[in-house]
Structure 1
Amino acid sequence: MPEKTILAIDLGTSSMKVALVDIRGNVLGWESEPISLFVTPDGGVEQSPQEWWDVFLRVAKKLIKKNPKAAQEVIALCSSTQGESTIAVDRDGQPLGNCILWMDMRGADALHRQLRGTVHLNDIGMRDLLRFVRLTGGLPSQTGKDPAGHMLYIRDQQPRIYEQTYKFLNVLDYINLCLTGHFVATVDSILTSWVTDNRDPKNIHYDDRLIDTLGIDREKLPEILACADVVGKLKPQVADELGLPREVRVVAGSIDNTAAAIGAGAVRDYELHLYIGTSSWMAAHVPYKKTDVFTSLASLPCAIPDRYLLTALQATAGGNLTFLRDNVLYHKDELLQEADVPDIFKVLDQIAERPPAGSNGVIYTPWIWGERAPVEDRTLRAGLYNLSLNNNREDIIRAFLEGIAFNTRWLLAPVEKFMKRKVQRLNIVGGGAQSDVWCQIFADVLDFEVRQVQDPVYANARGAAWIGAVGMGELAFPEVENMIKFRRIYTPNEYNRDVYDNHFDVFINIYKNMNKIYRNLNA
């Protein structure tokens, strides 16, 4: 008998992916297409919501046409999307402009003006800071990179759009609106608006004091659902266009780090996963709400109803490789074909395997768009150090991979302190986890076992599918651990230990010596 199937949407920063996944986690079909990124003259970073929807329909129809039998078994749609982004929509659900993305820092000044008190820490008045931490578990990002800053930017710099806004939505919320017609948010998509009381994971709700502090109109915020709640039926016109039954449901889903934790199989308490995509994070489910303001770590609402997800977010990981590809190795003027992009990354992987550990002395700091944790500093920038005439592009490419691994090791110490236990292993997922070379580098730099999840690029879609299956009553979250499969397990190479320990010490010293210089250059 055929397995029931979920149509899983995985909308990241770089592409729209759509998959047919059965409730056992088997990916039966997969299609993807790149999406555009716009950097505005005033330093904004945006994407087009209409492009998301157009690409989704095109990719989903292609997938269903290729896999008609699996499509017949679809019982629900469920999404995983990039988070910390903001779309203003009118009463008809039409976007009033582009989506302000999680990389956009234009809201920083408005946020500082709104929250700065006479007695303050990190530019937030002490009374407000304590309330944010106590109720939400976190703080609005002083970089302006989350919806708290985005909404204030629209309020102050685009007042006509603010006035016309019926609801502010995150990426996940907008996709669910297009699928169902309902204006809703999830416990994790609404999180970085910093207006919810998260002290009880089963009763997350808006707090009027937080909303007043932020200065956003309450009626512009959507209803909140749990990740595994059913939003409603798929719109009849969408079902007909895709060729799906009209009784198909839409489960609320989650933002990417929540879905990745499920798709990585890290559902037990303190089981860590590492995601390597455009951005990067380490995350683990924990049984308590806790915040470390000084390293920007917190345990926050997630898909598992009685748990929180410790999330340690780094600003840019694979985005450094995209920059290297598009701006150094292959300039955009060379009209690089989309079909060549995956092959280029395979070539980079092969090249990075040639130099020894330590990249013949070259060290790279991957702060190409600031950093989030363990320090929150939007002025940090990337850099190549210790280049000589003896080095070549092979050393540089490997140094990029090692630099991102050093950044992850830098973050590991506060993660272990937060959980009060040493990490013995982690599951690695995301597009970067397809690289065997990179997985071994992570094992060597972190000095513990790295388990490469099978088909790691499918982790978010698989996580969304499992959240959808739970929402439809077909699965329970604890069952996920027994369904996960690993392609390979990497153990540390002891011969690389001294090299990586030394380079990591230098990496930290670069930050200590350069952070004031970067602040002076980029403030």
Structure 2
Amino acid sequence: MEYLLGIDIGTSSTRALVMDYEGHIIAIGQKEYSFDIPYEGWAEQNPLVWWEALKKCIKDIFDNTSIKKEEIKSIGFSGQMHGLVPIDKDKNIVRNAILWCDQRSKKEVLEIEEVIGRDKIGKIAHSPTATGFLLPSLLWMKNNEEQLFKKIKFVVLPKDYVRFKMTGIVASEITDAASTTALDCNTNKWSNEIIEKLNIPISIFPTLGTPELLAGTLTKEAAEELNLKEGTKIAYGGADQVMQAIGNGVVEQGKALVTIGTGGQILMPLDQPLYDKKLRSHCFSFVENRNYYMGAALASGLSLKWMRENIAPTESYKLIDSEVKKLPAGSEGLIFLPYIVGERTPLMDPNARGVLFGLTSKHTKYHILRSVMEGVVYSLRACKNILEQDLKQKVDYFVASGGGSQSDVWLQMQADILNSDIYTSSMKEQSGVGAAISAGIAVGVYKNYESAFDKMISWNKIPVKPIAKNVEVYNKMFKIYEDLYLKTKDEMHMLNNL
């Protein structure tokens, strides 16, 4: 037998899965970890944590199956987006990676907007810049860690670092590079105009590929560390949102992905680049010469995890689901703004704060938990509204992904608040599946993505449908949700200045 290995370098864990060519997941390995918060608003990880986690994942796979390392035909990647991994001339890590959820580069975001101009950023990068993106984080290093900045020979994104450790080749690819603010999304090349105006050497930005191309082969040293076969072929892989879309069979305009993981996203492939002129959302590079729209919420699953840890730490998510399901749509007048780490789409406001509004003596902890789940989907509705109302692109239906797709009550909220049919995939490891599909195309197992989907992807035939009476309630609640931010924005910013 021959297999494909898909690796997903996440924010909270690394996962690896082995699939056969028909789409059957044979084995999964996972190693969880946390990220460091050395100061308020910072978020870092030592890239070697990902490497050690991958070794554990692969060991678990081989320990619990009869798969032989010689049977792994090809390897692909999915990875958390935006983050900065700086590498020196000896190919060592210069400092810990600065992650996508890091907020330290607020001043650098303003500096980039002032030097380049917001309109110019939009025309080149098709996206606003934001804290946590590679370019503002790199500029923060230049402004605040000058000696470390001078040591940088290359900058890559998280999954690129792990691929470098496996191949010895420093490179990136267009789907992740598009999320850095340093890529010209019209040409899929690094932007001289943006990078050099910031007095950053363009030479530190590496060669670019595409997810389904071969990036190299496994070195002898890496093969010994990972207990894999030297010379195994390795594809570039892609950004986790792109790999999730592929793992769900979503590559055509009209089909959209709604993801609730640590963060939350609305994603739809676009046949032509189309970006929001107000720069509240993103238009990034996709596969097969397409682009994709993405609206991004920062704290989706994170908000529920945070609230659970604080008010129901001993209760399982299954129990919480069963109790929340008993409550009516709208949580009896309780609204949560999930801005506990700031917000991206549509606010682009790192100083936004979380709000729990409407508390009365009748509310229980389950009302609060339900309001958090609803608030997360309100934030995703705001992302959908830009796509449909501002960009005039119709969503035919959604495919749900991430942890939010594993909860029946949260799926129903998504159908009701987004007022759309919600399908779920038979695959429960979509990012890893997308990585494995890319690996398969790289070695000719599949001709293209569509031919891979025919063999590997299936959806549940009956979607979750919106309930009319709930839609009516949520339409009213969403209006209040939007107004709350506008009416408390100044006070949120005042709190950040105390």
Question: Which bracket does the TM-score occupy, shorter chain normalised?
Answer: over 0.9
In the TM superposition, what is the alpha-carbon distance from 1:269 to its structure 2 partner? 2.1
Match of 2:230 among 246, 260, 275: 246
Match of 2:95 among 93, 97, 102: 97
Aligned-partner Cα distance in 2 for 1:240–1:131: 47
Partner of 1:43: 41
Partner of 1:18: 16
Deviations 1:139-189 (A, max 9, x none): 322xx2211110011111111111111111110211111111111011122
In the TM superposition, what is the alpha-carbon distance from 1:114 to its structure 2 partner? 4.9
Partner of 2:168: 181
Aligned-partner Cα distance in 2 for 1:354–1:72: 52
Deviation larger for 236-245 or 358-367: 236-245
Aligned-partner Cα distance in 2 for 1:495–1:207: 49
Relative distance call for 1:47 and 1:415 in structure 2 (3 A) is same
In the TM superposition, what is the alpha-carbon distance from 1:245 to its structure 2 partner? 2.4
Deviations 1:55-90 (A, max 9, x none): 110121111221233754311111101011011111
SS of residue paired to 1:189: helix
Tell whether the 8 Å contact from 1:20 to 1:70 is kept in structure 2 after alignment: no
Deviations 1:324-383 (A, max 9, x none): 1333433xxxxx8xxxxxx82222222221212221221111111111112211111111
Partner of 2:123: 134
Aligned-partner Cα distance in 1 for 2:276–2:466: 29
Partner of 2:357: 385
SS of residue paired to 2:382: helix
SS of residue paired to 1:30: strand
> Any residues of structure 2 matched to 1:138-149 within 5 Å, and which?
138-141=127-130, 144-149=131-136
Partner of 1:216: 200
Aligned-partner Cα distance in 2 for 1:73–1:269: 36
Aligned-partner Cα distance in 2 for 1:517–1:231: 49
In the TM superposition, what is the alpha-carbon distance from 1:486 to its structure 2 partner? 2.5
> Any residues of structure 2 matched to 1:429-508 within 5 Å, and which?
429-456=401-428, 458-475=429-446, 476-482=448-454, 483-487=456-460, 489-508=463-482
Partner of 2:340: 368
- Unaligned residue ranges in structure 2 (runs of 5+): none
SS of residue paired to 1:486: coil
Match of 1:427 among 399, 403, 421: 399
Tell whether the 8 Å contact from 1:15 to 1:34 is kept in structure 2 after alignment: yes
**Equivalent AA in structure 1 for residue 185 of structure 2:** N
In the TM superposition, what is the alpha-carbon distance from 1:279 to its structure 2 partner? 0.5
Match of 1:233 among 212, 217, 221: 217
Aligned-partner Cα distance in 1 for 2:88–2:252: 41
Deviations 1:266-319 (A, max 9, x none): 1122310111100011111111112213152232212x2321111111111001
Match of 1:294 among 278, 281, 296: 278
**Equivalent AA in structure 2 for residue 224 of structure 1:** L
In the superposition, the TM-score normalised over structure 2's length comes to 0.94
Match of 2:80 among 82, 107, 110: 82
Identity %: 23
SS of residue paired to 2:304: helix
Deviation larger for 362-371 or 42-51: 42-51
**Equivalent AA in structure 2 for residue 307 of structure 1:** R
**Equivalent AA in structure 2 for residue 210 of structure 1:** I
SS of residue paired to 1:6: strand
In the TM superposition, what is the alpha-carbon distance from 1:115 to its structure 2 partner? 4.3
Relative distance call for 1:447 and 1:193 in structure 2 (3 A) is closer
After TM superposition, where is structure 1 displaced by more than 6 Å over at least 4 residues in a row? none
**Equivalent AA in structure 1 for residue 444 of structure 2:** G
Tell whether the 8 Å contact from 2:254 to 2:397 is kept in structure 1 after alignment: no
Match of 1:515 among 481, 486, 489: 489
- Unaligned residue ranges in structure 1 (runs of 5+): 118-124, 331-335, 337-342
Tell whether the 8 Å contact from 2:76 to 2:435 is kept in structure 1 after alignment: yes
Note if 1:401 corresponds to 2:373: yes
**Equivalent AA in structure 1 for residue 45 of structure 2:** Q
**Equivalent AA in structure 2 for residue 85 of structure 1:** G
Deviations 1:245-269 (A, max 9, x none): 2231110001111111101111122
In the superposition, the TM-score normalised over structure 1's length comes to 0.90
CA RMSD between the two structures: 1.9
